[in-house]
């Protein structure tokens, strides 16, 4: 379980960070170097996702969706000074609960 959680965190950093770099490059006019770094980071995300031990692509990506939601809010707090409201936090908690059910329920 710890391996899976670490891989989800690394995947989130790579994907959310990559998307943020592209955003910064295009929307904040930081240039093509930022966009290129974002594209590379987005590619790295795919590797982290593929290292999950569960063999089912759909299950892994569905569960990762919840990590992405919570991670995106955390990224916004850290890098963009975003202030989530209680509904953002409740929604993220529900998503993470879903991750736990999808990935770690006994089968």
Q: Given this model, what pLDDT does residue 56 score?
A: 93
Q: Given this model, what pLDDT does residue 107 score?
A: 86
93's CB contacts (< 8 A; 6+ apart) are: 70
Domain that holds residue 93: 2-104
CA 85 to chain centre: 20
Instruction: Report the domain count for the chain.
Output: 1
Which parts of the chain sit beneath pLDDT 70? none
Query: Is the alpha carbon torsion for 12, 15, 21, 22 positive or negative?
Result: negative
Residue 59, exposed/middle/buried by CB under 10 A (0-12, 13-18, 19+)? middle
Question: What are the tens digits of pLDDT across the range 42-51?
Answer: 999 999 989 9
- Is-contact 96 65, C-beta < 8 A? no
Q: Given this model, what pLDDT does residue 85 score?
A: 98
Question: What are the tens digits of pLDDT across the range 59-71?
Answer: 999 999 999 999 9
pTM given for the model: 0.88
């Amino acid at each position: 379980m710890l391996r899976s959680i670490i891989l989800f965190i690394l995947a989130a950093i790579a994907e959310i960070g990559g998307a943020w770099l592209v955003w910064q490059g295009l929307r904040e006019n930081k240039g093509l170097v930022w966009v290129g770094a974002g594209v590379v980071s987005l590619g790295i995300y795919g590797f982290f996702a593929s290292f999950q031990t569960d063999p089912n692509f759909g299950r892994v990506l569905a569960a990762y969706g919840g990590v992405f939601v919570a991670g995106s809010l955390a990224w916004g707090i850290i890098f963009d000074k975003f202030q989530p409201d209680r509904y953002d936090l409740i929604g993220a908690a529900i998503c993470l609960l879903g991750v736990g059910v999808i990935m770690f329920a006994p089968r």
